[in-house]
Amino acid sequence: MTFDDSRPAPPTTSTSVIVLTLARKVESELGAALAPLDLTVGRLGLLGHIAGVPGASFSDLARMSGITVQSVHAAVKALAGAGLVRDNTARAGSASAIELTPEGVRLLRAAQDVLAEVDERMFGAAADPILRQVGASVRTAFGA
C-alpha cells in the first residue's frame, strides 16, 4: 500500500466546532425536555429575560435574545395570548412594562426544574467524564 500525499490531512480539531456541536446537543436535549411544558428554548429564554430584567424594552429583549424587535413583538404577543405575560404599556409609543403573569411564573419555575434535570443528565455525576469536566469549567468560568 502506498501513501497518497495528494489527499488532505484530517482537519485540526476546532474548539469552535466542538462547542457548536455540544451546543446543538444541549439545545436538542433541552428542547425535547421542555416540549411537555409546551415551551421552546427560545420562549424559555424570553420568559427568563422578562423575569430577570423588569421594565426591559422590546429592543432590550431583542438584544438579549439575539432576535429582531419585530420577532420579540410577535413572541410577546404569543406569550400574552397564552396567558404567560402581560404588557402593562399605558399607551402606544410609551415604554413597555412587560411582566410575567402568575401562570408565567409557574411555567418558568417548572422549566427551571427541567433545566436542572437536563444539566444533571448531561453534566452531572453520572455523565460522561469529559462532559462533567466541560460543565465544571463552564460553571467556574461564568461564576455559577
φ and ψ at 10, to 5 degrees?
-60, 150
The CATH label, of 2.40.50.180, 1.10.10.10, 1.10.3720.10, 3.10.20.90, for the domain at 40-141 is: 1.10.10.10
For the segment 97-134, what is each residue's pLDDT rounded down to a tens digit? 889 999 999 999 999 999 999 999 999 999 999 999 99
Q: The C-alpha cell of 113 is what?
A: 426544574
Contact 33, 114 (CB under 8 A): yes
For the segment 20-57, what is each residue's pLDDT rounded down to a tens digit? 999 999 999 999 999 999 999 999 999 999 999 988 88
pLDDT at 8: 82
Specify the higher pLDDT residue, 144 or 75.
75
Specify the higher pLDDT residue, 5 or 110.
110
pLDDT at 97: 81
Say which residues have a Cβ less than 8 Å from residue 113's Cβ, sequence separation at least 6.
none
Residue-range domain boundaries for the chain: 40-141
For the segment 65-101, what is each residue's pLDDT rounded down to a tens digit? 999 999 999 999 999 999 999 987 755 555 678 899 9
| Cα–Cα distances in angstroms (integers) from residue 97 to residues 93, 120, 124, in the given order | 12, 35, 38
Answer whether residue 13 shows pLDDT above 90.
Answer: no
Q: Which amino acid is at 86?
A: R
Predicted TM-score of the model (pTM): 0.81
pLDDT at 40: 94
- Inter-helix orientation angle 129-141/102-123, to 10°: 130
pLDDT at 2: 62
Specify the higher pLDDT residue, 144 or 100.
100
